[in-house]
Structure 1
Amino acid sequence: MNEHPIKVNSEIGKLKTVLLKRPGKELENLVPEYLGELLFDDIPYLKVAQEEHDKFAQTLRDEGIEVVYLEDLAAEAIEDPEVRKQFIDDVLAESEETLLGHEDAVKALFEDLDNKELVEKVMAGVRKEEVETGHTHLVEYVDDSYPFYMNPMPNLYFTRDPQASIGNGMTVNRMYWPARRRESIFFTYILKHHPRFKDADVPVWLDRNSPYNIEGGDELVLSEEVVAVGISERTSAQAIEKLARQIFANPESKIKKIVAIEIANTRAFMHLDTVFTMIDYDKFTIHSAIEKKGDDMNIFTIEPSDDGKDIKITKTSNLKETLKDALGLDDITFIPTGDGDRIVGPREQWNDGSNTLTIRPGVVVTYDRNYVSNQLLRDNGIKVIEITGSELVRGRGGPRCMSQPLYREDI
């Protein structure tokens, strides 16, 4: 075990510990009628998705990386009977809209499960036929077509978003879409009650009770002193300012700048890390649509004010120049998805060609299907480790989306 359980001072430092979530039965609770509200475009085949994910995890282990699983940590965090009871109560409270007053019946179902089964059931969702209840509300007589008392959480295998490691602390996020909002409850309990974390005094820069939305895919730690955050559909400007104030107020934090980068509110530009990732000291993957904006971007650098009592905000418009200045670099190389081709670029972008996981400087994990982007990375001196993802990619997320670094070596 590392001395401190959370340490992420860059996007590229050698990855030592990473949080994953193996796809589970929550994917089998996806049905066509409700795909949109659960943020899926298609239904992955669970057996193959698990095989692909297991190979992804083994690829990381083969590189000397410790892999820990969200479902295991969550189960270990509720070993104490009182903590388990509170966990159940909190989960039920957040599912009030679909439970239709049947909390006691669902709680009875939970009581027959061990801790790991309980966590997996909460993640998978509770179908109505799993619980014996009569119709007690008018809506159940009029329209009983909705199949769940507790909705599934099929996006959980994208562990990047519900929480994010920044320095020695974390954000435990208020997710934008209702379909994902319950996901961060697991790491809330892990930080507070798991033996690995509970005595480590991990700073929580933002918690899930914040009124402002933020998601980990928009949070990139560029260096020990600089964090980039996307202003996106899912991460608000208010959340970024609150994050900056919290970090700057902590005397142990070494972060001096938050660079807020506005991106388009579209499915292809879901998070900052779907269009922009750091892969080496001076190299970044980028969606060509971002690069083509040139001097026409909205970028805001947030720093402590000169007297340290407030913040100051500087607006710029050129991403490359802003990054060079923030990171103290003479030059930066942008590597466009699909080589910027008008057909290949959008196709590989849709399949998360920019969503690379850097496991040490200049070494990345990517989907093999993005072969044009991968070759371009190699042409630029990057070592590319490819994984298959024909089913995993149906959730619209790549290797970075599927991983939450907990510990990286400093660079």
Structure 2
Amino acid sequence: MNNINIFSEIGKLKKVMLHRPGRELNNLIPELMDELLFDEIPYLKEAQKEHDYFSKVLRDNHIEVVYLEDLVAEIIKDRNIKEELIEEYILENSIDIEKEKSLLRQYLASFEDEKELVLKLMEGTRREEIKNTSKNSLCELVSSNLKFITKPMPNLYFIRDPFTFVGNHVSLNKMWSKTRNRETLFGKYILKYHRDFKDVNLLYNRNYRHSIEGGDILVLSKDLICIGISQRTNPKAIEEFCKNLFNINSSFKTVLAFVLPKKREFMHLDTVFTMIDKDLFTIHSTIEKNITVYSISSNNGELKVNTEKGFLENILGQYLKKDNVKLIPCGGSSKVDAAREQWSDGSNTLAIAPREVIVYDRNTATNRELEENGVKLHIIKSGELSRGRGGPRCMSMPIIREEI
């Protein structure tokens, strides 16, 4: 089996990448919440307990778990790569004061333990950590009132978004917000230097102009991918992705593009739609009734785009070659439950095998609907993890699934 093998959302999961929430959550402060895309501040100790249990559920089901921070730490044992990463990290953080750049460079280079350095890059650097005694210029005097030299990356435990494995390839995504695009730097170095990933074909790159995020990319079969046109994924990025996908002679024949409302609660396709089995999906009722779907395919090297007509389950059935596709509504039949549980990612399931998923405990109405449809549930606590507005699928990056 290839080092990367993702040809469905539901094939038995064999290997997955996670990021354990770290001290970056302790650097999330109210004045930065809008910029860093958080509505609440999770409590780190409990978030780590919940995440560790999530990891345990995966391991208990014979799934190999690797951590982003460990993969990056492996490659920066090479001193040249370590120095290269530090330099690019400083550049990504747009530090204007040369003296601060120099002091930060020295501070980061002083970390002898590679994993501690990676965690520090993710955590951000408080201004109080670096002593800069003389402040002479206007920039130095003004910046001395700021709390951080480099800001934290608290969204990193939603590892699905910065890069996405598709088939035997990868999309190194351009994130919608500048603050999150820094996260893709770790993906860049893994894909450039790590022995398991360095020869993979890129379907997209972080330096492209238009944004695309992993929460909007769902691989339904060897033939079919779905991508959300969302608040965070631009249709021009989807076209570029499709051109690269079809040009590498992959097995994929069609991309279905779903138009989503440009609202925070519908930020990605996987917040309203995930795959449970070959013919079974979760869905949010607002999307089911109002969605527009475009099909994209290759026609003699050019993209062919059509508007799909009819009900979503029929469109999915046509491309998946299934007669009775069923959509399970988030929150069941109640509009109140649907709105509340969609906010806490009731639709965001992670399939570890066909009809077997990991879900949050708090989404009781949706979980009941899933069980009534014969779905095996692995229920994890979500009091703190859910404060970041992401569910089990968001927190995981499958690397290898069995083909179905």
CA-CA distance at 1:98 after TM superposition: 6.4
What code does the residue aligned with 1:23 have?
P
Which residue in 1 is equivalent to 2:130? 131
1:190 aligns with 2:190: yes
SS at match of 2:35: helix
1:99–1:150 contact (8 Å) kept in structure 2: no
The 2-side partners of 1:222 and 1:269 are apart by 20
Residue 159 to residue 143, structure 1, CA distance change in 2 (3 Å)? closer
Between 1:319-328 and 1:272-281, the stretch displaced more is 319-328
1:303 aligns with 2:300: no
CA-CA distance at 1:195 after TM superposition: 2.2
Instruction: Report runs of 4+ in structure 1 exceeding 6 Å deviation.
Output: none
Which residue in 2 is equivalent to 1:65? 63
The 1-side partners of 2:232 and 2:135 are apart by 37
Which residue in 2 is equivalent to 1:327? 320
Say which of 374, 378, 400 aligns to 1:407: 400
Say which of 338, 342, 346 aligns to 2:339: 346
When normalised by structure 1's length, the TM-score is 0.95
1:312 aligns with 2:309: no
CA-CA distance at 1:135 after TM superposition: 2.2
The 2-side partners of 1:98 and 1:319 are apart by 50
The 2-side partners of 1:117 and 1:65 are apart by 26
1:277–1:285 contact (8 Å) kept in structure 2: yes
CA-CA distance at 1:316 after TM superposition: 1.6
Which residue in 1 is equivalent to 2:204? 206
Residue 377 to residue 100, structure 1, CA distance change in 2 (3 Å)? farther
The 1-side partners of 2:128 and 2:146 are apart by 11
Which residue in 2 is equivalent to 1:273? 270
Which residue in 2 is equivalent to 1:38? 36
RMSD of aligned alpha carbons: 1.3
1:160–1:400 contact (8 Å) kept in structure 2: yes
Residue 353 to residue 136, structure 1, CA distance change in 2 (3 Å)? farther
CA-CA distance at 1:136 after TM superposition: 4.2
CA-CA distance at 1:356 after TM superposition: 0.3
1:98–1:149 contact (8 Å) kept in structure 2: no
The 1-side partners of 2:4 and 2:27 are apart by 33
> Tell me, which stretches of 5 or more residues in structure 2 are unaligned?
none
Which residue in 1 is equivalent to 2:348? 355
The 2-side partners of 1:100 and 1:320 are apart by 57
| Number of matched pairs | 401
The 2-side partners of 1:96 and 1:136 are apart by 20
CA-CA distance at 1:311 after TM superposition: 1.5
> Tell me, which stretches of 5 or more residues in structure 1 are unaligned?
none
SS at match of 2:182: helix
Between 1:185-194 and 1:316-325, the stretch displaced more is 316-325
Which residue in 1 is equivalent to 2:248? 250
SS at match of 2:183: helix
CA-CA distance at 1:101 after TM superposition: 4.9
Give identity over the alignment, percent: 47
What code does the residue aligned with 1:158 have?
F
Residue 99 to residue 21, structure 1, CA distance change in 2 (3 Å)? farther
1:371 aligns with 2:371: no
What code does the residue aligned with 1:266 have?
K
Which residue in 1 is equivalent to 2:164? 164
CA-CA distance at 1:178 after TM superposition: 1.4
When normalised by structure 2's length, the TM-score is 0.97
Between 1:70-79 and 1:317-326, the stretch displaced more is 317-326
What code does the residue aligned with 1:111 have?
A
CA-CA distance at 1:91 after TM superposition: 0.5
